Amino acid sequence: MDRFHIVGGSSLRGVVSVSGSKNAALPILFSSLLGGGMEVGNVPSLRDIRTAFSLLSQLGIRAQPLFQEEKGEVSEGPWTFSDTGNWPGKFFLSEENTTAHEAPYDLVRTMRASILCLGPLLARRRRARVSLPGGCLIGARPVDMHLNAFSRMGARISIDHGYIDANTDGLVGCDIHLPYPTVTGTENILMAATLAKGTTRIFNAAQEPEISDLAVCLNGRGARIEGIGTSSLKITGVDSLLPSSYGVMADRIEAGTFMVAGALLGDPLTVQNIDVTCLSSLLGTLRAMGADFEETPGSVTLARIRKPCGASVRTEPYPGFPTDMQAQILPLMSIAKGSSTVVETVFENRFTHVMEMNRMGANIDVHGSRAFVHGMSSLEGASVMASDLRASAGLVLAALIANGESEIQRVYHIDRGYERIERKLEKLGARIKRVRGEDVP
């Protein structure tokens, strides 16, 4: 298992370009199961994206890498998905086998977002057998809302030896009132409804920008989705989708992570290739903590906040403060003047990074869903263990400001969602090295 060795204290100066969004790319890639063929660009080179391609391949989707389109070259070459040094970023996805319908445990256990194949498989192939995603460290994360919606749309669903077994004679649109605006639940229903008979309306839909990205991509292929970006989506089913080309949006969580890095150590740091409008709750918090930044439509420039003040944050569905940024804001709160609070409302167990940050000298008390952060003058380097994707990003930021050296173990978590983060940070002036270990199975 690889680890990061970080020497804290270096300023970060220059420009960092944000990669394509993991959480937008995943549903868009799974939407290839709806048929029609599609070209997808700005696909980030991430562990979770490779898992998605493996699963899609088992489900009969062929992903052809497209290299250097600006030179008019299209290569199928000897390229494989493990070739991380030569990632094309653009793929043509087409259906080769339309009878495959099983998402096995081995893949689903490594990536819960594999559940996103369920809606498209049911809609297009009328059959799906998908390993039930278990809980994970951050919460129980059931998929009951996905399954209830598909039942209402006419799927017969049973749970059999840890698998969701579902089939239908054809999905039929209906009104779905979500008890909570689930992100992947909304995406799964949206994809299924695209090919269902009649009209589906989703009330209390999640409004995350990644859902809008998926909906715009689907409409470009002939789907009929209205209300994009709102909590009420109306989908009029169509018979089939058409081939088209789409570029995945930039990753707002990667952007947010670098923005916090800028607030901690920027000299100054420009985060570019972003949609600033998706980041307003984070920008509001950074402003309240003392950040001064320059904004353009595609970038934000921040310098280190000399004397950050404490703040209160409550994680909520979009447009609220993202739970995926909670671990990264804690290092800034840890060195702020006075105290700060974080209330985590989305996942029931998303403070595992706090114990590790406290080992670095932070002073954070967790009581249930609340973290009380007592600002300290500095953090100290230590050896710490990453427990999930965003927790790892929070620990990297803490190590970058800590005095002395830190080791972050289990960085495979961060490779699931950040494209070569150590290279991007190193270019900005951070002293960070990846120490190679044995591969994670």
Enumerate the active-site residues.
136
Q: Shortest Cβ distance from residue 435 to ligand EPZ (Å)? A: 24
Q: Amino acid identity, residue 220?
A: G
Q: Amino acid identity, residue 133?
A: P
How many CA atoms lie less than 13 Å away from 245 in the CB half-sphere?
6
Q: Shortest Cβ distance from residue 28 to ligand EPZ (Å)? A: 11
Q: Shortest Cβ distance from residue 185 to ligand EPZ (Å)? A: 5
- Closest to ligand EPZ by CB, 336 vs 411, is 411
Q: Shortest Cβ distance from residue 46 to ligand EPZ (Å)? A: 10
User: Regarding beta strands 3-7 and 405-409, do their DSSP bridges make them parallel or antiparallel, or are they unpaired?
Assistant: antiparallel
CA dist 274 and 265 (Å) reads 20
- Closest to ligand EPZ by CB, 214 vs 333, is 214
User: Regarding beta strands 61-65 and 266-272, do their DSSP bridges make them parallel or antiparallel, or are they unpaired?
Assistant: unpaired
**Vertex 23: Cα angle to 384 and 285 (nearest 5):** 65
Q: Which residues pair with 432 in a beta bridge?
A: 6
Question: Are 150 and 157 contacting, i.e. CB atoms less than 8 angstroms apart?
Answer: yes
How many CA atoms lie less than 13 Å away from 123 in the CB half-sphere?
31
Where b means 16+ CB within 10 Å and e means fewer, 241-259 reads: beebebbbbbbbbbbbbbb
Q: Which residues pair with 406 in a beta bridge?
A: 6
Where along the sequence are the contacts to ligand EPZ (CB under 6 A)? Answer: 23, 26, 113, 139-146, 180, 182-185, 206, 323-324, 346-347, 389-390, 417
- Closest to ligand EPZ by CB, 10 vs 51, is 51
Q: State the sign of the Cα–Cα–Cα–Cα dihedral 146, 148, 152, 154.
A: positive
- Closest to ligand EPZ by CB, 125 vs 413, is 413
- Closest to ligand EPZ by CB, 181 vs 375, is 181
- Closest to ligand EPZ by CB, 182 vs 200, is 182
Question: Are 9 and 420 contacting, i.e. CB atoms less than 8 angstroms apart?
Answer: no
300: helix, strand or coil: strand
Q: Amino acid identity, residue 191?
A: M
- Looking up tokens 């209390």 gives 204
Q: Shortest Cβ distance from residue 184 to ligand EPZ (Å)? A: 3
Q: Shortest Cβ distance from residue 47 to ligand EPZ (Å)? A: 12
